[in-house]
Amino acid sequence: MGPIDREPAPHTVRARVAEAFRVEYARVVASVLRIVRDIDAAEEVVQEAFAQALDRWPADGIPDRPGAWILTTARRGGARSIASAAPGARTRAPMRSCTRPSSRR
């Protein structure tokens, strides 16, 4: 068998995703957390990566290193979430005048 198991049975995919979840979840969340700096966002991105695995692996095949696939997918999702949030995050309050009020009256 090559690096990818082509067209695996659905129960095999679910089992491999469940195994990857048990083994890799905490490490992947920690890695994504370094990117997004928000635990809720990191967990959401990782959950989306596992959901993508359930959607894609039946057609694309189970990768030889499922944890690496999950990590790469989650990190890319984290980077996308940062990029999509960047315009809103860069919005700043209007600058106030730095001049002091005149003491002359």
User: Does residue 31 fall inside a structural domain?
Assistant: yes
* Confidence grade of residue 103 (pLDDT, cut at 50, 70, 90): low
CATH number of 26's domain:
1.10.1740
pLDDT value at residue 81: 86
The model's pLDDT over 51-84, given as tens digits with 9 standing for 90+, comes to 999 999 999 999 999 999 999 999 999 999 888 8
State the total domains in the chain: 1
CA distance 41 to 28: 13
The model carries a pTM of 0.73
Other Cβ atoms within 10 Å of 61 Cβ, number: 17
| Residue among 14, 12, 49 nearest 28 (CA) | 49
User: Does residue 24 fall inside a structural domain?
Assistant: yes
Residue ranges making up the domain that contains 26? 10-86
User: Does residue 76 fall inside a structural domain?
Assistant: yes
Beta bridge partners of 4: 63
User: Does residue 72 fall inside a structural domain?
Assistant: yes
CA distance 85 to 105: 47
User: Does residue 1 fall inside a structural domain?
Assistant: no
